[in-house]
Structure 1
Amino acid sequence: MDIADIATADYIEVPVDRRLGKVRSIFEQEHPKGIIVIEDGEYRGVITERQLLQSHVEDDAKAEALAKHAPKVSRTEDIRETARMLVEGNTKVAPVFEDGSLWGIVTEDLILEAVLDNLDALDVADIYSTNIVTVTESDTVGQVINRLRENGISRLPVLDDAGDLTGVVTVHDVVNVVIRDMSKATVGDRRGEVERVLDLPVYDMMSNPVETVTPTVSVEDAVRTMLAEDIGGVVVTDPDDDRRVDGVVTKTDVLRALTFTEEQQMDVQITNIDLLDTLSRAEIRERITAAADKYSDMQVQHAHVRFHKHNEKLRGTPLIQAQIRLRTNRGQVAGTGEGYGSDNAFHVAMDKLERNVLELKDIRADEEYEGQLLRKLNEL
């Protein structure tokens, strides 16, 4: 199946000179996955809801200020490769071209709907993220925005003082609150209104009840829930206690799973690949392979490397966060690090990953030793 079978010519477009305040209103009223920005009828980029949240650009600025050049997809492109392009481009929508002209768009939802019946072969445990970032009910909207930005994620489980799951807050929730309150404020009141909104507690804006799944649920069932509820992800909870958060599984995690291969060579996927300096995909693969080889019984099926740029800079070089997550026959293992420039950030993350691999090896060795002792004791 290729993109021609699922792409759509039904999309929202705005001119480059449309004010961002109007663009925000479109997201509030029509909830598109993204908006195409055009100039004189020609494609110039896309704007997503997350971009609006992460941007410091004022409402009076023009759409061109936020237009992002999402990967261009041919109508004859393979679905697996398109899924990779969306993940590595860190976008939920991409323009589809035919003979050099913009034909339509493809979204993550269109891809997931097309492959839904084939997702029962995977369980949530195979793909969900265990690197959990959470907030409490008393945290503020400002703190939520900072954590969403710093971690490049779209949703945060909300916990009470006992650490139990009570809700979830998403990029969409934040955008809705900001747009709703800003629309009530006049220009003179805006600064004070912004400060008031940022001080609102999470409890006032979180969604509840929360859509949850356990690690043993099939990916197909999890995606059906996301599509039916029109949400970007679900919280993964402990099978024995649905108040305890184990992780999160998102539509992006599922798209990433579509790119998994059974080839001998480890599959590496890089999100925000445009942030790479001198590193190549081959060099990243070599470093990860070398780290995994320190545990001879570990085979890496898939590696995901994600780069995220902070606003801070040193001599013109941005502060980058690198996150590495490996899907292996021994479970998931991860490493995170920060540095100025993607090369430095990647090396810091790799050091952490190697320590975690060795720790996993030691834990496995201890478990095997304990098993041997128990077997000997039982023989006495």
Structure 2
Amino acid sequence: MDITNIATPDFVEVDAGKRLGKIRSIFDREKPRGIIVTEDGAYAGVIGEKQLVRSRMEDDTKASAVMTSAPRLDRHEDVREAARMLVEGDTKIAPVYEGEKLYGIVTGDDILEAVLESLDAITVEDIYTEDVVSVGEKAHVGQAINRLREHGVSRLPVVDERGDLEGILTTHDIIDFVVRDDRRQGRGDRRGDLDRMLDLPVYDLMSAPVITAQPGELVRDVVSRMFESEISGLVVTPTDTENEVSGIVTKTDVLRALTFTEEQQMDVQITNIDLLEALTREDIVADITSVVDKYQKMQVHHAHVRFHEHKEKLRGTPLIQCQIRLRTSHGQLAGSGEGYGSEHAFHVALDKLERNVLEKKGVNADEKYRGQLVRKLGDL
């Protein structure tokens, strides 16, 4: 299946120097699926609907300040490869070309809607993220923002003192609150208002009750729920309770699942691949393979490597966070770390992953020994 009939010509093309005020007017009038930004007639980037609507930048800001880069897709690209390119580009929208001519755009939602009925072969348990970053309901919004930035995530389950799920806080919740406050109070110097917002308890901004998913549910049903509720992710809770947080499942997780293969070579996906410098995809695959090979019984179904750039720099080299997540025959394993430059960050994360792999090996060995000991004692 390719994206020939999934891509849409429903987009607006604007120059990089176009002011946001004009673009907002065009968007409100024509209501396109997305905006393609060009510079000197050549493709430069994209602006999604949410970026435009939720942007707090002044109307005279140029489009180039809001646009994001996105990979060019061929109109006849395979849907799996298109999903991979969107995930690796860390974007929800991409330009589609027919030869050298710009045809239109495709979004992650377009792809998911097209393959929805085919998602009955996988369950939430197959794809969701177990290592969840949460925040306490009494924490300040400023603390939540720091946590979102630190971990490069867009949503935080909100928990009470017992760790029970109370709500969900997303970057969209925070931006919507700021934008609404802007419209209510005007734009001027509002540093004091923003400071007060950062001191608000998370409880005041979170969404509740939380729409959840269970590990055994079909991904098809969960994606349908996301579309109906106009959200991009769900908190995963155990089947027997909705208070405990087991993980997170997002539309991006589903897009990533579309790229899983059954080939002998490890399937590795890299988000924000443009941050790679000296590293290559082949280097990453080889290094992860050498770590996994230390535990022969483990089969890796899929590996996801995510790079996130911080603003901090050392002699011009940015601080990078790297997260490595493996889906294996022995469950999920992960490692994360930070370093200046992608190569340093990757190897810090790889060292952490190796410790976790060896720890898993040790735990299983201990369990095997305990089983042998119990059988011996039974023979006495």
Q: When the two structures are superposed, what TM-score results if normalisation uses the length of structure 2?
A: 0.91
* 1:13 to partner: Cα distance: 5.0
Conservation of the 8 A alpha-carbon contact between 2:54 and 2:176: no
Q: 1:281 to 1:82 in 2, by over 3 A?
A: same
**Residue 76 of structure 1 corresponds to which residue in structure 2?**
76
The 3 A distance-change label for structure 1 pair 28 and 347 is farther
Structure 1 window deviating more from structure 2 (50-59 vs 206-215): it is 50-59
State the Cα RMSD in Å: 2.8
Aligned to 1:106: 106
Quote the Cα distance in structure 2 between the aligned partners of 1:151 and 1:99: 39
Aligned-pair CA distance for 1:83: 0.4
Q: Which residues of 2 match residues 1-380 of structure 1 at below 5 A?
A: 1-12=1-12, 14-20=14-20, 35-38=35-38, 43-48=43-48, 60-378=60-378
In structure 2, what is the Cα distance between the partners aligned to 1:260 and 1:156? 26
Contact 1:54 1:149 in 2 (8 A): no
CA separation of 1:343 and 1:49: change in aligned 2, threshold 3 A: farther
2: CA distance between counterparts of 1:27 and 1:362? 57
Whichever residue aligns with residue 259 of structure 1, its letter is T
| Deviation by residue 1:223-282 (Cα, 9 ceiling, x = unmatched) | 121122121011011233210101101010111111111001111111000000101111
2:317 aligned partner, one-letter code: T
Conserved 8 A contact 1:71-1:94: yes
Distance of 1:103 and 1:267 partners within structure 2: 30
Q: How many residues align?
A: 380
Asked if the contact 1:160–1:166 (Cα under 8 Å) also holds between the matched residues in 2, the reply is yes
Q: 1:152 to 1:80 in 2, by over 3 A?
A: same
1:134 and 1:276 map into 2 onto residues whose CA distance is 29
SS of the aligned residue for 1:6 comes to coil
Q: CA deviation at 1:344?
A: 0.3
| Higher deviation after alignment, 171-180 or 142-151 | 142-151
Distance 2:249 2:30 in 1: 25
For residue 81 of structure 2, what is the amino acid of its counterpart?
Answer: E
Give secondary structure in 2 for the equivalent of 1:46.
Answer: strand
Q: Deviations over 1:86-115 (max 9, x none)?
A: 000000111111232222111111111111
* Compared CA separation, residues 96 and 379, structure 1 to 2 (3 A): same
Measured in 2, the distance between the counterparts of 1:140 and 1:52 equals 27
Q: For the residues of structure 1 that align with 2:141 and 2:4, how far apart are their CA atoms? A: 41
Q: Match for 1:72: what amino acid?
A: R
1:261 is matched by which residue type in structure 2? T
User: Cα 1:55–1:294, aligned 2, differ >3 Å: closer, same or farther?
Assistant: farther
Tell me, which stretches of 5 or more residues in structure 2 are unaligned? none
Rounded to whole Å, the distance in 1 between the matches of 2:18 and 2:141 is 27
Change over 3 Å in CA distance of 1:219–1:272 after alignment to 2: same
Unaligned stretches of 5+ residues in structure 1: none
Answer whether contact 1:323 1:349 (CA < 8 A) is retained: yes
Structure 1 position 222, deviation (Å): 1.5
Distance change (3 Å), C-alpha of 1:275 and 1:95: same
Aligned CA distance change for structure 1 residues 104 and 351 (closer, same or farther; 3 Å): same
Aligned-residue offset at 1:81: 0.3
The DSSP-based 3-state class of the residue aligned with 1:369 is helix
- Verify the 8 A CA contact 2:14 2:36 in the aligned structure 1: yes
Normalising by structure 1, we get a TM-score of 0.91
The residue type paired with residue 116 of structure 1 is: L
CA deviation profile, 1:296-342 (whole Å, cap 9, x unmatched): 11111211100000000000000000000011111110000000000
